[in-house]
Structure 1
Amino acid sequence: MLSGVQRHESVIVVKAGTPEMPTILEPKLITGTANRPLAQAIARRMSMHRGIHVGLVDARVERFNDQEVFVEVYENVRGEDMFIIQPTSNPANDNLMELLIMSDALRRSSAKRITAVIPYFGYARQDRRSKARTPISAKLVANMIVEAGIERVLTLDLHAAQIQGFFDIPVDNLYASPIFALDVLTQFEGASDDIMVVSPDVGGVARARELAKRINAPLSIVDKRREKPGEVADMTVIGNVEGKKCIIVDDICDTAGTLCKAADLLMEYGATEVHAYISHGVLSGPAVDRIGQSVMKSLVITDSIEPTEAVKATPNIRVLPTAPLFAQAILNIWNGTSVSSLFETETLEPGYEGLLKA
């Protein structure tokens, strides 16, 4: 005799004798210490989408006296679809270990699936052997992530797209260019004919072209030659930037030396203004001081890496939120729907309504 179906919160429990029905689980978020404000913003945005409260799983991440990482999850996660929000930014090694140990804790607690949401993927610049007897650290990190029990990775603007192939699990690589396009169209409304998108090097042309295509602007290139890592020997501009408002597009700004030199060079070539849109503001060492004193009118970064107080206090640095993008991507993964739909500016525009101001 059929005894019916009982509902307990978001889980459908089927009693014996009824036809088998799918189990419905809510996505659950957990975060380490790398960028808690972003994790909280993602949770708030998901709450808006779902119409119910989506919070962060209660857990503690601590350091022992010898700096070993310890994680304890206070909530039951058995059979849950878990999303760990943890960029592997500075300190990269500590944040990477937090990610791996959180995954191990969840796996041993019988989580159904573990997805690593890594807004900034550290070690991505070590994606190939640049010279003899050097490691491919990005591949090593990928192996560690898979071995820790993570079954899917969600990230933003990988330094090199081929890093997706380092993983033997699905990797969804989101792009900041739709967000940048929305912001550029807001900031430069009525002046779109004067915009020139600039790639700071030949290797970044594809990224710059993507933004140029979205905002219907021409493209220029700064050709740079390095004597050794971190030092630029010579730079030239390919393309006519005279009288243009130049927008430099790149994925990472570390010490900002090259970026500031490129801005100076563009002004020498006749640009009226120089702005920069960078996906990940690493901003280490003297970067913030350099940008504050630079001819750049503005540097726009995302919050994939938690901005420091110094970054927040610098007048010509703006931070764009990525929470609407990541929240929708997490929900799409949980629902089993397309993540590539978020590559389109039109898809993201409703989520950023009111967040971007001229």
Structure 2
Amino acid sequence: MPTVIEPKLISGNANLDLAKAIARRMSLYRGMNVGLVDARVERFNDQEIFVEVYENVRGEDMFIIQPTSNPANDNLMELLIMSDALRRSSAQRITAVIPYFGYARQDRRTKARTPITAKLVANMMVKAGIERVLTMDLHAAQIQGFFDIPVDNLYASPIFALDVHSQFRDSMDDLMVVSPDVGGVARARELAKRINAPLSIVDKRREKAGEVAEMTVIGDVSGKKCIIVDDICDTAGTLCKAAEVLLSHGATEVHAYITHGVLSGPAVERISNSVMKSLVITDSIPRSPEAQAAPNIRVVPTAPMFAQAILNIWNGTSVSSLFETDTLGPIYEGIL
């Protein structure tokens, strides 16, 4: 009788809390204990990364949970070295679960003599032995084409829609979804369709990276509770200024739903002092102590979605089914 190969999870140091939460959810779904493979991922004195896997993984279906967030280079190297260790230990298949895909903003040449680093990172992952990638809200959807292996890109908008229905159940007719720039219209439109709300755009013009020179609101936001939707919040300068501009145009409240809370530099202080009533992020990136203490920053979990996606990949069923509210709703029942 053939042996059933079970999915096995292993995690680096990038977001161990999320990895443990995914393991707990998988245990709940399967009715049996699913733990993280026992391994050590540490650094020598010269900061070289070393990985040792203590369990037998020969012939196993392995899932490495490792976002490549700050410090991006260290976390990326951990992922590559873990994959190499598993490949050399005869794992049957290696899937990289990357909740936040670092270097995704370098997806094209913006000027002469600049790299396309997202493509370079994709090449490195494939060479390291990774055979499938599971990620969430890639900054640019075309990055999936940088890989010569399957890439499953999950979306946070179904989770956000469930949260919006929970938080604004008494004022759904007053909501307006706002894209903070023209490039994010498709992402904002997706949430607007899910909650049946109108769409507005904040058109911004940059003088240089990290600075916004001018903002114009396209659409009537007067009397509306505005929900800004984006994939990444880095220094939060654009986000906080957009909130001010929306209020100046007659919005009654401004909230933000951002998938990846990078929150670098002065971001948390800016958000704490901003006119935004709330910023909702996912746990794709671990929060700093300052972000955890901020009263207007809230987190929605991604572990239920990732756990189900991993199980679907393992047993060969549809991952895109998780884009539907009817499928995702029961998974998040009692959580949001």
Where in structure 2 are the equivalents of 1:252-267 lying within 5 Å?
252-267=232-247
From 105, 112, 119, give the equivalent of 1:139. 119
Where in structure 2 are the equivalents of 1:24-39 lying within 5 Å?
24-39=4-19
From 162, 169, 190, give the equivalent of 2:149. 169
Q: Distance in 2 between matches of 1:279 and 1:346?
A: 21
Post-superposition Cα deviations, 1:200-228, rounded to whole Å, max 9, x if no partner, equal 00000000000000000000000000011
Q: Counterpart in 2 of 1:217? A: 197
Matched, 1:293 2:294: no
Tell me by how many angstroms 1:308 deviates.
1.4
Tell me by how many angstroms 1:353 deviates.
1.1
Letter in 2 for 1:196: M
Letter in 2 for 1:335: N
Q: Distance in 1 between matches of 2:183 and 2:4?
A: 45
Tell me by how many angstroms 1:337 deviates.
0.5
Tell me by how many angstroms 1:355 deviates.
1.0
Q: Counterpart in 2 of 1:8? A: none
From 100, 103, 114, give the equivalent of 1:120. 100
Structure 2 residue matching 1:227: 3-state secondary structure:
coil
Q: Counterpart in 2 of 1:191? A: 171
Letter in 2 for 1:343: F
Q: Counterpart in 1 of 2:285? A: 305
Larger Rg: 1
TM-score normalised by length of structure 2: 0.99
Structure 2 residue matching 1:327: 3-state secondary structure:
helix
Q: Counterpart in 2 of 1:239? A: 219
Q: Distance in 1 between matches of 2:146 and 2:180?
A: 26
Give RMSD over aligned pairs: 0.6
Post-superposition Cα deviations, 1:168-203, rounded to whole Å, max 9, x if no partner, equal 000000000000000000000021110000000000
Post-superposition Cα deviations, 1:308-354, rounded to whole Å, max 9, x if no partner, equal 11111100000000000000000000000000000112211111111
Structure 1 residue matching 2:206: 3-state secondary structure:
strand
From 301, 306, 323, give the equivalent of 1:343. 323
Letter in 2 for 1:334: W
**Percent same amino acid at aligned positions?**
84
From 166, 175, 182, give the equivalent of 1:202. 182
Tell me by how many angstroms 1:257 deviates.
0.2
Q: Distance in 2 between matches of 1:264 and 1:92?
A: 31
From 320, 327, 335, give the equivalent of 2:300. 320
Post-superposition Cα deviations, 1:131-186, rounded to whole Å, max 9, x if no partner, equal 10000000000000000000000000000000000000000000000000000000
Letter in 1 for 2:95: T
Post-superposition Cα deviations, 1:81-131, rounded to whole Å, max 9, x if no partner, equal 000000000000000000000000000000000000000000000000001
TM-score normalised by length of structure 1: 0.93
Letter in 1 for 2:51: V
Letter in 1 for 2:110: S
Structure 1 residue matching 2:96: 3-state secondary structure:
strand
Alignment size in residue pairs: 336
Letter in 2 for 1:25: I
Letter in 2 for 1:60: R
Gapped runs of 5+ residues in structure 1? 6-11, 13-22
Structure 1 residue matching 2:292: 3-state secondary structure:
helix
Structure 1 residue matching 2:26: 3-state secondary structure:
helix
Gapped runs of 5+ residues in structure 2? none
Where in structure 2 are the equivalents of 1:75-94 lying within 5 Å?
75-94=55-74
Q: Distance in 1 between matches of 2:18 and 2:274?
A: 28
From 33, 57, 64, give the equivalent of 1:53. 33
